[in-house]
Amino acid sequence: MKKVERINIIMRYINNRAHFTITELMLEFNISRSTAIRDIREIEAMGVPLVAEVGRDGGYFVMHNSVLPNVRFTDHELKALFIAFMATRNQQLPYLKSRQSLAEKLLGLISENQQDDLVFLNQILIFEGTNPNNPDLLDLSDLPHPMLEKLIQILLLDSYLLLTIKEEKGIKSDHPIYLLHLYREKSLWLIEGFDLNEEKKRIFSVDDLTDVIPYPSKKRLSKKKILEKLSSKEEVINLILDLGPKAIAQFKKYHPLKISISYTNPYQTTAILKTFINVTKPEELTEVINWLLFLGGDIKVREVPEEVLEGLQDRLCLYCP
């Protein structure tokens, strides 16, 4: 690690701690005692208000109510931030309206040479959803569903929500939930929550959300009871597969959010997949069958629901002579 880069990282390390010692710096950055002391002196010379404590357990701390120096980015950090900004275009993620102001502030912190590098990267890198004939033109809207940011703002304060959902034929219905996860799958934002009325896990699409407010505290079920009810209704695993290297490669390309694998050797060339498939839902059953075909032939079935097996056989027979 170059000295300039190490100094920057040590400064961030110091800012995030109320107290630190020379020994901690030596262990954290794998440097000698003399190097750690020299780095501390350079950081002090840059204006960081460090106070040394004398004694056997002495160390350093940052003086309170003092102005710290501006954050400095290495070339690699700048490129990582810039490429992250570019890669999130057309992803319909929350808070992206602030990307332009963030980029302008970032450019204001760097030199002209560094700005030239970022301009060049913007010209040669093309991400999914970008028109190759005009990199500044996106094929789809960059803005998420208008309710997404409001939902997240409320979630930061409270996990008990009252969702107003647009049903079929424009009818609206209210659903009190305890939120378990907010996730994105197949370009859709989904809310997974414990329905406080039906006392079961449900999934709602943010696209169908018309309003969200905190749920009144008097009507809430405690988090402990919610977890107990979820545990009592825990789904029994009914699909077990052994995956070879080709199937693992396909799994990494795409897999349903709630399905994971466990590697069975240190080289990560074999793995086991265990999950529950709800065969009572036709759309979920069809999706699983399509996904298993996507994994390819490098799988060994240990356990599978009869409905899934029949669906696979019917699908494969379509290609039989």
Average pLDDT, rounded, for the chain: 83
Please, what's the b/e burial string for 47-75 (b: 16 or more CB within 10 A of its CB; e: otherwise)?
ebebeeeeeeeebbebeeeeeeeeeeeee
pLDDT band at 220, cuts 50/70/90? confident
- Per-residue CA distances from 279 to 13, 261, 303 (Å): 51, 21, 14
pLDDT band at 114, cuts 50/70/90? confident
Domains and CATH numbers, the chain: 3-62 (1.10.10.10), 75-138 (no CATH), 146-231 (2.30.30), 239-317 (3.30.70)
The pLDDT tens digits of the residues spanning 12-43 come to 888 777 788 888 888 888 899 899 888 888 88
Q: Does residue 162 have a pLDDT over 90?
A: yes
Q: Check if the beta carbon of residue 295 is closer than 8 Å to that of residue 221.
A: no
pLDDT at 142: 62
- Per-residue CA distances from 76 to 5, 79, 301 (Å): 10, 5, 45
pLDDT band at 303, cuts 50/70/90? very high
Q: How far apart are CA 92 and CA 77, in angstroms?
A: 24
pTM value surpassing 0.85: no
pLDDT at 3: 81
- Greater confidence (49 vs 83) lies with 83
- Helix 3-15 vs helix 33-45: angle between axes, to the nearest 10 degrees? 80
Determine the longest span between alpha carbons in the chain, in angstroms.
85
pLDDT at 54: 66
Unique residue bearing structure tokens 């027979």 = 317
pLDDT at 127: 74
pLDDT at 108: 76
Q: Does residue 72 have a pLDDT over 70?
A: no
- Greater confidence (224 vs 234) lies with 224
Share of the chain above pLDDT 70, in %: 88
Lowest mean pLDDT among 56-70, 90-104, 155-169, 260-274: 56-70
Share of the chain above pLDDT 90, in %: 24
The pLDDT tens digits of the residues spanning 129-144 come to 666 565 555 545 567 7
Q: How far apart are CA 142 and CA 89, in angstroms?
A: 6
